[in-house]
Chains A and B, each alone.
Chain A
């Protein structure tokens, strides 16, 4: 067991009669997937460092229903959404931050139509805000001279036009941020979206994540940064297919930042 994280649930805030600054929506991957849990912990370390008064829903959290919606199960999506909205509105949540672009997208764009109106931020946007406000300082140059390339998650970039926050954060570590041949609006998908994460791909002559990691490897970057737990899994698997796992690492932007601060 590593160092103790300071994490409070909404129930605890309620019991104290207080409201948190933000609700951190951990998401299903961030809660259960071993790799994604590390991203969650890295982000919380940064929140702790910046002394952010944040809450999680803990065992009250449930799937946003996003993946069901992309698969075509509008019924299940709306059931999940309305349950979540009842809970979030009951707690009078105003601001939600999440490490998952899929949750980010559905909260921001699809929940309002069902009665859930919140300010929604991707964790890279929130971390940038903390740095801009001087609450989080970035020291050290452990990443100086390292090449990092950022893989745009579809539902953060193309779908919601968030391109700059993750790149600005990466350049704060003094690393060289290099771009792949297709990036921002024309970035290639990692292959996990639209519920593909949960099924085998259809017959083809290559897997999408292998093609995308090829793009990343062409930049000669030592680190592939992502901002999505699913992209992280896909890129990590892709690196293994290319047998480059010894020389190239896949990290979330939050992990790069936490590492650079020795957290």
Chain B
């Protein structure tokens, strides 16, 4: 009987981590639905970007209040994980405060966790107030209605509960240490939870143990549950921010990729020796002509799909977007959310059909992202600049415009006029190329 808690704990751990691994596999499979893209270049610069942007949070603090609060929660999350390690080992081995022989170092660690936990509580409350009381513009845009809003708040509630459980556990433990209960050897320093002691006074030893054990179990089960909540939430950024900043843009923001499939065709057209009536070469017939641009998530590359899962819906992109600021429908955040939601839909379709995608009559274009949104973009890169985790919504917009123009000839009429002017006169306006030098004598 004495090993029952250990066994239960091991089971919880296996189930919790097992589900998480299953979700990670699904995530990886969905991301790999994207086209291949070569991101093997500039390794040193990429590591530097990851260290600076994800680990160092440099782009978060561009907005100081949200940035500093976020750094607190982030540091709290990372450092308190040391405590989680102790909890897991205690749970498996049936020990109590396994690391306590570290003595004063241990006291220092526990004290730091407590202070961080308090700071996290403060930050989480500030975040909640910003979302729900002050109602900062970017948190109440149309795409934030429903699940995204609930999701944002749920994350805050879970974090708050976890921190309170941690402090309650420590307070009960501290009280048990004071009354000299068995197993509860004197260890740790409790600068924050000591203020909870008045609540513990008068409780019998067995009640205290019940409180301590309940908080301990709920804390670790809560963490395992939260780990599994990530996949269903915008909160995946705590993991994906790292690969995303690594694979993020290295080139100047103004540089759009040149489509290789187009280059091949243009070269053929411009080659004076090419025979336009020649039968296609043997190997050419085998491959299907490549689709230009993107109308669905599978037409995007895998970094763009990783971008979509990384987005935590902070809305900094949207709040910097000139189109959005002037009341247009375009919201770069919505482009990312739509891409992720459609990708999830495709993934579920595959799950239901033995891993094969069965066409569902839907696509990213029109069913999620409207043409009006796509044509409102000025390609100014403000969204790309604003993203704290190197997401590039603009590249998706351009890829979808390419589909509209090259596959569907569905550009707005004025743009079609502009493009035929370029084709005919080499300028976007209907002027004669012979008049190009008139400015010299005007």
Residues of A bordering B, CB below 8 Å = 1-2, 4-5, 7, 9, 26, 28, 30-33, 37, 40-41, 44, 56, 58-59, 61-63, 65, 67-76, 78-80, 82-83, 105, 108-110, 113-114, 154-155, 158-161, 185-186, 188-189, 191-208, 211-212
Contacts and interface: CB of A to CB of B under 8 A. Distances in A.
B398 A72 contact: yes
Contacts of B119: none
19 contacts: A28-B427, A28-B429, A32-B436, A33-B429, A41-B439, A59-B436, A67-B428, A78-B266, A80-B422, A109-B252, A155-B254, A159-B253, A185-B385, A196-B378, A198-B414, A198-B428, A201-B328, A202-B328, A202-B330
A202 B439 contact: no
Contacts of A58: 436-437
Nearest to B261: A74
A80 B439 contact: no
Given A32-B431, A63-B427, A72-B398, A109 B406 contact: no
Given A31-B427, A59-B434, A158 B330 contact: no
A56 B423 CA distance: 21
A202 B61 CA distance: 33
B252 A160 contact: yes
A250 to B, nearest CB: 18
Contact of A205 (B327, B412, B441): B327
B378 A71 contact: no
Q: Chain B interface mostly helix, strand, loop or mixed?
A: helix
B375 A202 contact: yes
A152 B181 CA distance: 69
A40 B442 CA distance: 11
Given A59-B433, A72-B406, A185-B385, A191 B256 contact: no
Interface of B: 251-256, 258-259, 262-263, 265-267, 269-270, 292-293, 320, 322-323, 325-330, 372, 375-382, 385-386, 398, 400-406, 411-412, 414-415, 417-419, 422-423, 426-429, 431, 433-442
Given A32-B431, A56-B437, 10 more contacts: A7-B440, A32-B427, A37-B442, A58-B437, A67-B428, A68-B419, A70-B379, A78-B258, A79-B266, A212-B322
